[in-house]
A and B are shown apart, each in its own frame.
Chain A
């Protein structure tokens, strides 16, 4: 994995969908409407772009449970991958359940995103080890999904 050496992070914290991105997500609604069997639950990372996409793409699925899960988040490359406190997420997405997110990260005052390494260093804006951010949580993701059915 490499990045251009002169790349500058624009600091789009928790970046939002563009108009085009919202249209892309909404264009899935006619597809999800016909999913059979109908969806039971939506699981999205607590990042704004993911939850907004899920809302738009599955807008026609009424009464569906909506859960956020930090394990679904993207790798941490830039400020755009830095999330927000569960309270702020809940305010913007009141029909999404952030209970687990809040409880699981209570010790870190609700900080569920990467916020610097263990020894106090701050690598925001720099690529972080994929093995640390992506590979290790895979097992946890499997456990999370097992709530809804075991991965085959």
Chain B
């Protein structure tokens, strides 16, 4: 059940990305996959997976306007803006044997589900 919910969120994200752009206007992107417990919840761009943004589609950071970044109208406008920014997407690794051991044994850490976050880079 939980897996289905996650899949639904991801599917929602894909839809938003497609609606938000997909025009190939960017000039470059850097993609990083780190294991850093960078997955601190405060570092995660929850908007990437949120389904409760008042119906506004998710807009990747490089496509957001300077104001009201999450608005649907800006999403379509921003998609046409060519950018020279590079983007760093951070991905948390999937659940490991150790994560499961930690979950079953007393430990202060909390496993944080794999997430994705985009960070602007300049060229």
Residues of B within 8 A of A151 (CB): 88, 119, 121-122
CB pair A6 B106 closer than 8 Å:
yes
Interface residues of A, dominant DSSP: loop
Residues of A within 8 A of B108 (CB): 1-4
What would 30 A/B residue contacts be, using CB atoms closer than 8 Å? A4-B108, A7-B107, A10-B98, A12-B98, A15-B99, A18-B96, A20-B94, A24-B95, A24-B113, A28-B91, A28-B116, A31-B10, A36-B22, A39-B31, A39-B89, A40-B30, A40-B31, A41-B32, A43-B34, A44-B33, A49-B93, A52-B93, A53-B92, A53-B94, A57-B33, A80-B96, A80-B97, A149-B86, A149-B88, A152-B121
A-side residues, CB < 8 A to B, are: 1-4, 6-8, 10, 12, 15-18, 20-25, 27-28, 30-45, 47, 49-50, 52-54, 56-58, 64, 72-75, 78, 80, 134, 145, 148-152
Does B56 interact with chain A (Cβ within 8 Å)? no
Top-10 shortest CB links A-B: A21-B94, A149-B86, A37-B26, A21-B95, A148-B30, A39-B31, A149-B121, A80-B98, A4-B106, A15-B98
Does B41 interact with chain A (Cβ within 8 Å)? no
B34 contact from A1, A50, A56, Cβ within 8 A:
A50
Residues of A within 8 A of B123 (CB): 149-150
The distance in angstroms between the C-alpha atoms of A43 and B35, with both chains bound, is 10
CB pair B36 A74 closer than 8 Å:
yes
CB pair A17 B35 closer than 8 Å:
no
Residues of B within 8 A of A17 (CB): 93-96
Can you list, as one digit per residue, whether each of B47-81 has a CB less than 8 Å from chain A (1) or not (0)?
Answer: 00000000000001000000000000000000000
A148 contact from B10, B105, B116, B121, Cβ within 8 A:
B121
The distance in angstroms between the C-alpha atoms of A17 and B111, with both chains bound, is 13
A145 contact from B22, B30, B107, B116, Cβ within 8 A:
B30
CB pair B18 A53 closer than 8 Å:
no
The distance in angstroms between the C-alpha atoms of A125 and B98, with both chains bound, is 13
Can you list, as one digit per residue, whether each of B1-15 has a CB less than 8 Å from chain A (1) or not (0)?
Answer: 001001100110110
The distance in angstroms between the C-alpha atoms of A20 and B95, with both chains bound, is 6
CB pair B122 A152 closer than 8 Å:
yes
Residues of B within 8 A of A34 (CB): 14, 17-18, 22
Residues of A within 8 A of B26 (CB): 36-37
A36 contact from B21, B85, B92, B116, Cβ within 8 A:
B21
The distance in angstroms between the C-alpha atoms of A29 and B27, with both chains bound, is 22
